[in-house]
């Protein structure tokens, strides 16, 4: 690769999140408008590197996409050049095709690639950097579980969607005197459930980091009934688990770098409450509703700031780094510090303390 920057690549990997198009727009506009570089977009995340699927991105390609959910490049949470899966069933195997990916990057004459994604995407980016690829990362996930950044874009939108859902569920719960269980995404981290539970006035919030006791949940519901509050809202993170138990696994996806798909804990909690207290209990699983739709203004701005920062990191040849939000500033950190790690909720986090002080039960 030359000493000057002439062309860069960009991809979006992992699960989709509101704000991906906003960050792509910022990358393309900054690279072309400010630096006069060419920009190549890889289709469907790292699959584009292996399958040699890419296209040149111009200003017209990113016009009008700021408010759109999803990603114009497509994404994949199973494509990994270091463990590329082949075959099915008993004949299934995986091979390392990372050197093919590197060769394709070189053949396109790219001086660097910007990888937008969560911990899995950034871990692969770190692997490519060790093979000599000039990489810059941008953190993305509705789960907010990436190390070394205060927030990820997509999280604010997901919290807003979850909070609105809880607001709506409040009225039907109160009208029918029901216990309403709302299950949200988050994988092994409880940030989404914690924020939405507090914002939506949840009575009980269950997160993976604080294993729950079903007796404590039932005691909270019973205490509310005694005070004349004949309904309760339970917000459950998909990775929540009972004390001494394991998270509920909905299914496994063999091709994925993270094959476990969580889901079903809401139904388990609801069944326990209903059988113990003989109270009508209903479950709402928000699922992929949290990933879709128009990003909030906050996520659009954050995504745009991160996208522009990533391009400037390339311009300064500060490779192997990830753009991040630190306080109110956009700074950067080594991707190595982010790879293969998850940022979980500390049990003594200020928001957990706030919840306890304002009467939220965490199942303890």
SS (H, E, C) the chain: CCCCCCEEEEEECCCCCCCHHHHHHHHHHHHHHHCCCEEEEECCCCHHHHCCCEEEECHHHHCCCCCCCCCCCCCCCCCCCCCEEECCHHHCEEECCHHHHHHHHHHCCCCEEEEEECHHHHHHHHHHHHCCCCEEEEEECCCCCCCCCCCCECHHHHHHHHHHHHHHHHHHHHHHCCEEEEEECCCCCCHHHHHHHHHCCCCEEECCCCCECHHHHHHHHHHHHHCCCCCEEEEEECCCCECCCCCCEEEECCCCCCCEEECCHHHHHHHHHHHHHCCCEEEEECHHHHCCCCCCHHHHHHHHHHHHHHHHHHHCCCCCEEEEEECCEEEEEEHHHCCCCCCCCCCCCHHHHHHHHCCCECCC
pLDDT (0 to 100) of residue 320: 96
Q: How far is CA 3 from the centre of its chain?
A: 35
Q: Residues 53, 44: contact at Cβ < 8 Å?
A: yes
- The stretch 66-94 carries a mean pLDDT of 87
pLDDT in tens, 1-20: 457 899 999 999 988 899 99
Sorting pLDDT into bands at 50, 70 and 90, what band is 87?
Answer: confident
Q: Range(s) for CATH 3.40.50.460 in the chain? A: 156-291
pLDDT (0 to 100) of residue 55: 97
The count of other CB atoms within 10 Å of the CB of residue 343 is 20
Q: Residues 346, 69: contact at Cβ < 8 Å?
A: no
pLDDT (0 to 100) of residue 151: 95
pLDDT (0 to 100) of residue 259: 62
Is residue 317 scored above 60 in pLDDT? yes
- The stretch 49-69 carries a mean pLDDT of 96
| Domain 156-291: top CATH class | alpha beta
pLDDT in tens, 233-278: 999 999 999 999 887 776 665 565 566 667 789 999 999 999 999 9
pLDDT in tens, 155-175: 999 999 999 999 999 999 888
Task: Return the percentage of the chain with pLDDT > 90, whole number.
Answer: 81
pLDDT in tens, 214-237: 999 999 999 999 999 999 999 999
pLDDT (0 to 100) of residue 92: 78
Q: pTM for the whole thing? A: 0.92
Q: Which residues are catalytic?
A: 143
Buried/exposed 49-84: b ≥16 CB within 10 Å, e otherwise: bbbeebeebeeebbeebbebbbbbbbbbbbbbbbeb
Is residue 91 scored above 90 in pLDDT? no
Q: Residues 13, 120: contact at Cβ < 8 Å?
A: yes
- The stretch 291-300 carries a mean pLDDT of 94
Q: Residues 166, 158: contact at Cβ < 8 Å?
A: no
Out of 30-34, 111-115, 117-121, 255-259, which region has the weakest mean confidence (pLDDT)? 255-259
- The stretch 282-310 carries a mean pLDDT of 95
Task: Return the percentage of the chain with pLDDT > 70, whole number.
Answer: 96
- The stretch 304-320 carries a mean pLDDT of 98
pLDDT (0 to 100) of residue 252: 62
Q: Range(s) for CATH 3.40.50.450 in the chain? A: 7-153+295-337
Q: How far is CA 93 from the centre of its chain?
A: 28
pLDDT (0 to 100) of residue 2: 52
pLDDT (0 to 100) of residue 1: 44
- The stretch 56-84 carries a mean pLDDT of 93
pLDDT (0 to 100) of residue 335: 95
Is residue 347 scored above 70 in pLDDT? yes
Average pLDDT value over all residues in the chain: 92
CA distance 45 to 48: 6
Which two structure tokens, joined as six digits, stand for 237? 């993170």
Is residue 176 scored above 90 in pLDDT? no
| Domain 7-153+295-337: top CATH class | alpha beta
């Amino acid at each position: 690769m030359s000493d000057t920057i002439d062309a860069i690549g960009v991809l979006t990997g992992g699960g989709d999140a509101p704000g991906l198009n906003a960050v792509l727009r910022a990358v393309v506009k900054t690279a072309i408008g400010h630096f006069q570089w060419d920009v190549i977009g890889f289709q469907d995340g790292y699959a584009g590197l292996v399958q040699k699927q890419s296209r040149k991105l111009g200003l017209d390609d990113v016009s009008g996409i700021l408010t759109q959910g999803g990603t114009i490049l497509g994404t994949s949470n199973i494509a990994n050049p270091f463990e590329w899966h082949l075959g099915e069933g008993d004949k299934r195997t995986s091979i390392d095709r990372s050197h093919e990916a590197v060769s394709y990057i070189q053949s396109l004459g790219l001086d660097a690639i910007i990888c937008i994604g969560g911990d899995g995407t950034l871990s692969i980016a770190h692997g490519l950097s060790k093979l000599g690829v000039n990489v810059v990362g941008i953190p993305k996930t509705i789960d907010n579980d990436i190390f070394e950044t205060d927030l990820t874009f997509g999280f604010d939108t997901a919290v807003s969607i979850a909070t609105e859902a809880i607001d709506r569920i409040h009225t039907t719960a109160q009208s029918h005197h029901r216990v309403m269980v709302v299950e949200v995404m988050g994988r092994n981290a409880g940030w989404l459930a914690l924020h939405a539970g507090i914002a939506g006035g949840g009575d009980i919030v269950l997160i993976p980091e604080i294993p729950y006791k079903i007796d404590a949940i039932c005691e909270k519901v019973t205490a509310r009934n005694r005070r004349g509050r004949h309904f309760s809202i339970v917000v459950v993170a998909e990775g929540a688990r009972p004390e001494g138990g394991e998270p509920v696994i909905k299914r496994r996806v063999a091709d994925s770098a993270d094959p476990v798909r969580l889901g079903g804990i809401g139904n388990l909690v609801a069944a326990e409450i209903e059988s113990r207290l003989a109270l009508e209990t209903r479950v709402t699983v928000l699922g992929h509703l949290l990933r879709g739709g128009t990003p909030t203004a906050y996520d659009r701005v954050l995504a745009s700031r991160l996208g522009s920062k990533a391009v400037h990191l390339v311009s300064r040849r500060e490779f192997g780094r990830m753009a991040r939000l630190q306080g109110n500033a956009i700074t950067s950190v080594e991707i190595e510090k982010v790879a293969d790690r998850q940022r979980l909720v500390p049990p003594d986090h200020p928001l957990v303390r706030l919840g306890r002080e304002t009467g939220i039960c965490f199942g303890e």
